[in-house]
Amino acid sequence: MLESYFVRPQTVDRIRASWIGPEIERYVGWLTESGYTARTVLHRVPLLVCFGEFACARGAGELGELAAHVDAFVLERQRRTRRRDARFVKDVRGPVEQMLRLVVPGYVGPGRRRRPVPFADVLSGFFGYLASERGLRPASIGKYRHHLSRFEAYLEQIGVVRLSELSPPVLSAFMAERSGAGLSKTSVRDCCGVLRVLLRYAHREGAVGSDLSATVEWPQAYRLSSIPRSITWEEVGRVLTCVDRRTPVGRRDYAILLLLVIYGLRGREVATLTLDHIDWRSERLRVPERKAGHSTAFPLSRSVGEAIIDYLRHGRPETSDRHVFFRAVAPIEPIGAAAVSSRAGHYLLKAGIRVPRPGSHTLRHTCVQRLVDADFTLKTIGDFVGHRSAQATQIYGKVAVEPLREVALGDGEEVLG
């Protein structure tokens, strides 16, 4: 494997002569399989050889001892190069820790510091309850952790050490603090809902003497108070025109944008699509495990099918993974929901279209609004885009967006007449 990157035999010999040479070569094989470029390999291997020599000079003789020398190695490289910027530290530490995760059993590395599970010591079964009894998805459970971490930190700040000490004034003060933190009304309302669920569970488990959930009042956030952030079909054309379909990234993004705007898919639903969900013979596209708990089968649009085929043939990396869409840079792995939304937002801004929170939902809203303008029933529209209930679709029926735009652009005399 090393001979594929290093021409001089002396260089290969030096790498293999290192006491961690076999581990470096294994790491090179992993980099190759993961789609990293030759330039990356040529940059990282000499660094790892130096790390092995540095650790050996400090007394390391086994792989399990390497982790103890990472920080000192980074400081030594900083001292020698006189660089202190975060980018340099990342370029040194990253490859070393990545190799250690591959070759040292049980090594995790610092990575991102994970916050402890809130209230794990007194309500250890709460998050299991959310998943098993309430049937929440991991993303929803993550929101619970977010809000409850803030609540736990607040209680620690004011000196409340036991849930039995909770009272309506404490709960009210916490919600007042969250309301003053710049959150929207809907975010504050979500926090109130999370707190209510926790308090009911705590009462059920005997951690609090009475059910305090009713004392948590949330702000009024009217469901139909805003207009969905859709764009016109002409603007959709501008967005699609911005995509450079000559590149693998452009081919992938073009297919993603079409799925969002034609079928109104969520970013998560695009990210989880696999080759098994596309029936080329019957020209059907199946979207499983939607938010409403069911799957939907669509006729496969000709434009969408051609865009996906173009990506599969000329953009998708060679892999045994059945997901349709992949990252364009190493490590090669399926694209995530956040990346889908980010790419949609990128092209909206590139096309010069200004909407609140540009992303995948902008195109989803556009799909729904187009169906409303075509006089489809709200029940049909809700089934098409996978809404959990009819109420989720009602907001699109409260205004006729295009007629209102025509009124705003005209002189209004026809309306008055």
β-partners of residue 284 are: 279, 299
Amino acid identity for residue 211 in this structure: D
Q: Who's near 178: CB < 8 A, 6+ residues apart?
A: 150, 188, 191
The single residue of 316, 364, 365, 370 carrying the catalytic annotation is 364
Active site includes 129?
A: no
Active site includes 361?
A: yes
The single residue of 69, 266, 316, 365 carrying the catalytic annotation is 266
The single residue of 44, 245, 268, 361 carrying the catalytic annotation is 361
Residue 13, H or E segment: helix 9-17
The pairs formed by 117-121 with CB atoms below 8 angstroms and a separation of 24 or more are: 117/145, 118/145, 118/148, 118/149, 118/151, 118/152, 119/148, 119/152, 119/163, 119/198
The single residue of 291, 323, 327, 346 carrying the catalytic annotation is 291
Quick one: tokens of 219? 């702000």
Strands 284-287 and 278-279: antiparallel
Active site includes 323?
A: no
Active site includes 114?
A: no
- In Å, the largest CA–CA distance within the chain is 92
Active site includes 162?
A: no
CB hemisphere CA count around 155 (13 angstroms):
17
Active site includes 143?
A: no
DSSP state of 286: E
Amino acid identity for residue 285 in this structure: L
Active site (catalytic) residues: 266, 291, 361, 364, 387, 396
